[in-house]
Amino acid sequence: MNDAFSQLHPAASFAFFVAVITLTMLYMHPVLLIISLAAAAGYVCILKGARHFGKTLIYLVPFLIFMSVLNALFNHAGVTPLFYLSNGNAVTKEALTFGFYASVMLSAVILWFECFNVVMTSDKLLCLFGRLSPSVSLLLSMALRFVPKFGRKIRSIDAARAQIGQGSAQGGFIRRVKNSMKVLSVTLTWALESSLTAANSMKSRGYGAARRTSFSLYRFTVRDAVTMVLCAFAVGVTAACVVSGGIYARYYPSVIISGFGGIPALGMAAFALLCFLPQLFDAKEALVWRRLRSAI
């Protein structure tokens, strides 16, 4: 993975994901959804490889179909009945359509979140939260350290106690519960002990001696500012198109989908610009590389 977009400042990446995911969830317009889905799929391919995306499809496609069918089975609104169920309710074209687009929306959101998880590492999130509150950031970081450590220690203690016949998997049910309780008790004692050292280590390095700041690995550059302005612009144009009624989608009682013509096309283009922003970044980078190489 060599993705230019994920090297942006966390604030810029975060703003991008918030914008894309919110717009995708907010406006159930088929064209917007398809754009979003295609962009998300493309970005997943870039971040995790096409092979991984292929694996994702294996559960995504059945999910798509399942959701459409499920919606049609439980929602009977709509003016076009296709056939009737035994309870007298109709399966309507509208419910099927809505179910399909709802699942497209969900798939897109799932894929975006998959990208989010790759791009927004815990460091980046911490950096973001650190700006809001350095103590929250520290707390999160300590929790991220402590929780796995606690888990490892429990396993280690259990293994140690299993050697004297007191492991959590030894003996009858009651015995096991008792042994597990003891393992937990030892772990808690250990946690207290080690947290004393940690507390000393924190005090020794000035914890509480002054107002905390938060170290950030990332620098906010012009690039990040430009990205955020682009995002804001795209969101603004799209939202304006939707609010003005240019981009409009309704599924019940009848399916009405608007959005063909100048203004809606502008909104869709803006949305596409937003969604494909990572690819655009990568494409630009690739072009520069090619030019550099040919210059050599």
Partner 1 sequence: MAAFEIRDLSFTYPNENKPALDNITMSIPEGRITLICGASGSGKSTLLRRLKTCLADHGKAEGDVLFFGKALDDIGQAEQARRIGFVFQHPDDQIVTDKVFHELAFGPESLGWDQARMRLAVAEMASYFGLDELFEKNVAELSGGQKQLINLASAAVLRPDVLILDEPTSQLDPIAAADFLGTLRKMSEDLGLTVILTEHRLEEALPMADMLAVLDEGRLIAFGEPKKTVMQVKNSAVFESMPAAVQIFAAVDGEGDAPLTVSDARAFIALRARTSVKGEQPSVETCPETAAELKNCWFRYEKNAPDILRGLSLTLHKGEIFALLGGNGSGKSTTAGLLSGRLKPYRGKVKTNGLRVAALPQDPRELFVKDTVLDELKELNPEEASLSHVTELLELEGVLSRHPFDISGGEQQRLALGKVLLTAPDVLLLDEPTKGMDGEFKRRFGELLSRLKAEGKTIFLVSHDIEFCAQCADCCALLFRGEIVCRSAPRKFFSGNFFYTTAAARLSRGMIENAVLTGEVIECLKQ
Partner 2 sequence: MKKRSIALILLVLMICSLLAGCMKNAEAVNFAGDIDLGEDGVITKEVFSQLRDNGEIASICGNSGEISYKWTVPGTEVTNPQDLCMALTITEKTDGSIEITLKSDKSFGFLPTLSVTLKDKWDALSASVYDADGKKLCAASVTGGDKTTLSFKISADVFSYIIRADEAEPTPEPSNSANLSDGSRTEKDKYGTDPVPVGKPEPVEPDKSNVDTSKKLHCTISIDCATILNNLADLDPAKLDVLPTDGVILNAVTVEFSEGESVFDVLQRVCRENNIHIEATFTPGYNSAYVEGIHNLYEFDCGELSGWMYSVNGWFPNYGCSRYALQDGDVIRWRYTCDLGADVGGSMVA
Convert residues 224-253 into a mask of x (bound to partner 2 by CB under 8 A) and - (unbound).
------------------------x-x-xx
Q: Measured between alpha carbons, how far is 168 from 177 in angstroms, rounded to an integer?
A: 7
Question: Is residue 105 within a helix (H) or strand (E), and if so which, with residue range?
Answer: helix 93-119
Q: How far is the CB of 234 from partner 2 (least distance, A)?
A: 20
Show contacts with partner 1 in window 102-161 (CB under 8 A): 122-123, 126, 134, 138, 141-142, 144-145, 148-149, 152, 156-157, 159-161
Residue 275 structure tokens: 């969604």
User: What's the DSSP call for residue 219?
Assistant: -
Judged by CB under 8 A, the stretch of 13-21, 46-54, 105-113, 186-194 that binds partner 1 is 186-194
Is 182 one of the binding residues for partner 1 (CB under 8 A)?
yes
Q: Measured between alpha carbons, how far is 244 from 264 in angstroms, rounded to an integer?
A: 10
Binding site partner of 38, from partner 2, partner 1, none, Cβ cut-off 5-8 A by kind = partner 2
Widest pairwise Cα distance in the chain: 78
Binding site partner of 77, from partner 2, partner 1, none, Cβ cut-off 5-8 A by kind = partner 2
Q: Burial letters for 83-120: b for 16+ Cβ neighbours within 10 Å, e otherwise?
A: eeeeeeebbbbbbbbbbbbbbbbbbbbbbbebbbebbb
Q: Measured between alpha carbons, how far is 149 from 241 in angstroms, rounded to an integer?
A: 51
278 closest CA partner among 35, 32, 3: 3
Q: Which is nearer to partner 2, 73 or 184 (CB)?
A: 73
Positions that interact with partner 2 (CB under 8 A): 30-31, 34, 37-38, 41-42, 45, 50, 54, 76-79, 81, 84, 87-90, 92, 248, 250, 252-258, 260
Q: Could you list the residues that contact partner 1 (CB under 8 A)?
A: 122-123, 126, 134, 138, 141-142, 144-145, 148-149, 152, 156-157, 159-166, 182, 185-186, 189-190, 193-194, 197-198, 200-217
